Structures are given as C-alpha cells and as structure tokens.
C-alpha cells in the first residue's frame, strides 16, 4: 500500500477535524441526556441473557 501524499494527508486531517466539530454538539447533548435518563436494566439484561444462552446452545451443538 502506498503512503499518502502531503496534500492527501492535509485534506484527510481537515475532514477529520470538520467531522469532529460537526458531531461535537450532538455528542455533548446526548451525554447530557443520558445522565438524566432513567436506568432500565431489564431492557439490557434480557436480550443479553438470550444471546448468551444462544451462544451456549450453539457451542453445545458442535
């Protein structure tokens, strides 16, 4: 694989900074919203438990 030229590196760096500045306010708002949200562990643990049981079932089938 070839190395990037200086111009390509500068353009890529500018695009990365642009995306970071573009998404920054949304990420900050999402973090604030998640701090104030209620926790619902059942919504996480049930699907996770089913995935673990399914993986164990698949391992047992081999």
Is 1 part of any domain?
no
Domain around 53: 6-61
Residue 49, pLDDT score = 96
Residues whose CB is less than 8 angstroms from the CB of residue 12 and which lie 6 or more positions away in sequence, other chains included: 4
| 57 membership: H or E segment, kind and range | helix 42-61
Residue 5, pLDDT score = 92
> Do residues 12 and 4 touch, judged by C-beta distance below 8 A?
yes
Residue 1, pLDDT score = 66
Note the pLDDT tens digit of each residue in 16-61.
999 999 998 998 899 889 888 888 888 899 999 999 999 999 999 9
**How many folded domains does the chain comprise?**
1
Is 19 part of any domain?
yes
Residue 2, pLDDT score = 81
Is 23 part of any domain?
yes
Is 57 part of any domain?
yes
Residue 57, pLDDT score = 98
């Amino acid at each position: 694989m070839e190395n990037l030229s200086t111009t390509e590196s500068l353009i890529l760096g500018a695009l990365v900074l642009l995306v970071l500045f573009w998404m920054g306010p949304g990420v900050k708002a999402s973090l604030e919203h998640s701090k104030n949200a209620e926790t619902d562990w059942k919504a996480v643990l049930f699907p996770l438990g089913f995935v673990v049981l399914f993986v164990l079932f698949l391992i047992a089938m081999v």
